[in-house]
Amino acid sequence: MKPYEEVLKSFSFDISKEELGIKDGDVFNIGEICTDRICRMGKGSKLALIWEGFTGEEKKYTFDDMRQLTNSIAKFLRDDLGIKPGERVCLFMDKVPELYFGFLGVLKMGAIVQPLFSAFGPESLQTRLEDATTSAIFTQKKHLPKVRNILKDLPELKHIIVVDDDGSKPLKEKEIAFHMDKAERVDKFAIYPSKAETPSVLHYTSGTTGKPKGAQHVHNSIISQYITAKYVLDLHDDDIYWCTADPGWVTGTSYGIIGAWSNGATQCVLDAGFKAETWYKFIEKNKISVWYSAPTAIRALMKEGTEAVKKFDLSCLRHLASVGEPLNAEAVIWSQEAFGKMFHDTFWQTETGCIVVSNYPGMKIKPGSMGKPFPGITATVVDLKTFVPIEKKGIVGMIALEPGWPSMIRTYWNNETTYKSKFQNGWYLCGDRASIDEEGYFWFVGRDDDVINTGGHLVGPFEIESALLEHPKVAESAVVGKPDPINMEVVKAFITLKPGIEPDKMLELEIMNFVRKKLSALAMPQEIEFVDSLPKTRSGKIMRRVLRAKEWGEEIGDISTLENDM
């Protein structure tokens, strides 16, 4: 691996295109590049996926297995269900092999793949399927009731594909069983002739106001995802790679599918909840060499101590990287002590599609820093009002990127206005604040809006507040992020109750479970504070920032428009 400064001088995304064999105007498809192309390179018999379920069950697939099975899925969608290119096909599953191969299968037949986190409740699911007017959804038996509950409100949803139906209960209208492992293997499939700007992936992300937005990517994204996986995650041909992210979120697809397999890496997936011992055992057993995880997980491992690490032989680990929210200095230092390697923090977001700032391999790590811009990406911090780059070092501004890198989103689905509002003075604004030091390292400060980053997932306060208002005892609510040692932030709700309702612990639990079942566990307030009134402007708008400042022990700032004291 060449040093960062050297790569910086000569880098262009054309290097990635050349390595992938893509020329301007060419037909190319992410699904083909990750499967057929790897087989053509003579790696068909190499393991592509080593999967383990929570019961310990294991499945292994070679690149040739994956090539054929993704063809089977593509053929099933196109020929059996009549799905047309450009239609939206949702993946609503746990981290099972069908999720990973389904992603590539959908792309191979030209549809747009819409992965959604399987822990979403019916309301979160409905919002996103409604917005995308999704035609088909892949799911598992266990999630089928959530789909059935909302089906009547989704007239565009024509097919519900159940990947693990065992015939024990009859399927209902629009439902069809598809067993990937038993499906006829398709050796040859006419892959959809997508081009650079053909829509590929639709990832939903939360904002401060309004409903979640569908960040729309195109097949060209692979140009960035391939090369950043190779350079920043330092993936080599003989690596065994583990990306712990769920493909319901962008890390799980950009680097848990596209980046890894376009590089021909063998990838491990563990479909089980978090437990330090299980994770370490998984690394040891599979001899994982490159590990891409999240600060929340790292801090949870840290809580278990270095003694838990020493019980296992983890000498297989060669490179560690992290993404989701800023990785605190203590966690970086701890990883050196525990694993003999530092976690390399990386920064990017759903909209960027690829890593844009990182602690590049071989570069001096400053614990707690986000690192430096990836070669080929022009990043800076701009003034919060004028959007002009801040020249002076150490001054906080908003992280901004020069548009034009290959995996930048092309729009928000049905929401071009919001998409356009992300650009100011010729810069794409990330919505995060940071400063840059004398050596060019970026230092994260916080979000520039009310979006809550909990465990690396962005949660919009508006969606939670709307759900809370549906609870029969809630009069008003305001939702903010509260500092948390493991998850960086957790959701906290301030609630006023309807007249005659008295707060108690049972009601707190009732409201928590209400939100969890409606939206998701991520959105469930981890803490509820019942208050007599909420701070509002004279025009009646709830001032979340006053509540947030209180939680973070920060200055409240200008409260001249505040109508009442809390």
Contacts of 35 (CB under 8 A, 6+ apart): 48, 63, 66, 67, 70, 104, 108, 261
Which amino acid does the sequence have at 71?
N
Q: Give the C-alpha separation, 225 to 292, whole Å.
A: 14
The distance of closest approach from Cβ of residue 303 to another protein in the complex, given in angstroms and rounded to an integer, is 7
Cβ distance to another protein smaller for residue 52 or 64? 52
Q: Which stretch binds another protein (CB under 8 A): 124-132, 267-275, 425-433, 472-480?
A: 267-275
How far is residue 48 from each of residues 43, 237, 245, measured CA to CA in Å? 9, 11, 17
Q: Which is nearer to another protein, 155 or 273 (CB)?
A: 273
Contact of 293 with 244, CB cutoff 8 Å: yes
Residue 56 contacts another protein per CB under 8 A: no
Residues in 90-119 at the binding interface with another protein, rule: CB under 8 A: 94, 119
- Residues 420-479 contacting another protein, CB under 8 A: 454-455
Out of 272, 333, 396, 559, the residue judged to bind another protein by CB under 8 A = 272
When the beta carbons of 25 and 506 are compared against another protein, the nearer one is 506
Rounded CA-CA distance 216/200 in Å is 7
Nearest to 12 by CA among 411, 500, 374, 310: 374
Q: Is 529 in the site for another protein (CB under 8 A)?
A: no
What is the SS3 string spanning 292-318? EECHHHHHHHHHHCHHHHHCCCCCCCC
Q: Does 512 bind another protein (CB under 8 A)?
A: yes
Shortest CB 173 distance to another protein, Å: 16
Taking the complex as a whole, how short is the minimal distance between the CB of residue 242 and another protein, in angstroms? 16
In angstroms, give the least distance from the CB of 279 to another protein: 9
Piece in contact with another protein (CB under 8 A), picked from 128-136, 266-274, 322-330, 334-342: 266-274
Q: Which of 315, 513, 561, 564 binds another protein (CB under 8 A)?
A: 513
Beta bridge partners of 162: 139, 177
- Which listed residue (1, 41, 469, 509) binds another protein by CB under 8 A? 509
- The residue among 145 and 472 lying less far from another protein, judged by its C-beta, is 145
Cα 110–113–118 angle (5° rounding)?
155
9 binding another protein? (CB under 8 A): no
Whole-angstrom Cα distance, residue 42 to residue 40? 5
State which residue, 182 or 505, has the beta carbon closest to another protein: 505
Q: Which stretch binds another protein (CB under 8 A): 378-386, 429-437, 520-528, 535-543?
A: 520-528
Please state at what angle helix 461-469 crosses helix 122-132, rounded to 10 degrees: 120
Residue 107 CA: distances (Å) to CA of 32, 87, 191, 204, 233: 9, 11, 9, 17, 24
Distant-in-sequence, close-in-space partners of 190: CB < 8 Å, separation ≥ 6: none
CB-wise, 104 or 524, nearer to another protein? 524
- Nearest-approach distance from CB 346 to another protein, in angstroms: 22
Beta bridge partners of 494: 478, 529
Q: Is the dihedral of CA 412, 414, 418, 424 positive or negative?
A: positive
Instruction: Among 19, 130, 271, 402, indicate the residue that binds another protein (CB under 8 A).
Output: 271
Tell me which residues in 479-508 interact with another protein (CB under 8 A).
Answer: 505-506, 508
Give the residue with the Cβ less far from another protein, 93 or 235.
Answer: 93
By C-beta, is 190 or 509 nearer to another protein?
509
| Cα within 13 Å of Cα(488), Cβ side | 26
Residue nearer to another protein on the CB measure, 132 or 491 = 491
- Helix orientation angle between 505-518 and 122-132, rounded to the nearest 10 degrees: 30
Of the listed pieces 125-133, 273-281, 283-291, 347-355, which binds another protein according to CB under 8 A? 273-281
> Would you say 141 and 120 are in contact if contact means Cβ atoms under 8 Å apart?
no
Burial code of 542-553, b = ≥16 C-beta within 10 A, e = fewer? bbbbbbbbbbee
Among 278, 378, 424, 496, binds another protein (CB under 8 A): 278
Give the number of residues in contact with another protein, rule: CB under 8 A. 33
Residues lying near another protein in the complex (CB under 8 A): 54-55, 94, 119, 141-146, 168-169, 271-275, 278, 300, 303, 454-455, 505-506, 508-509, 512-513, 516, 521-522, 524, 526
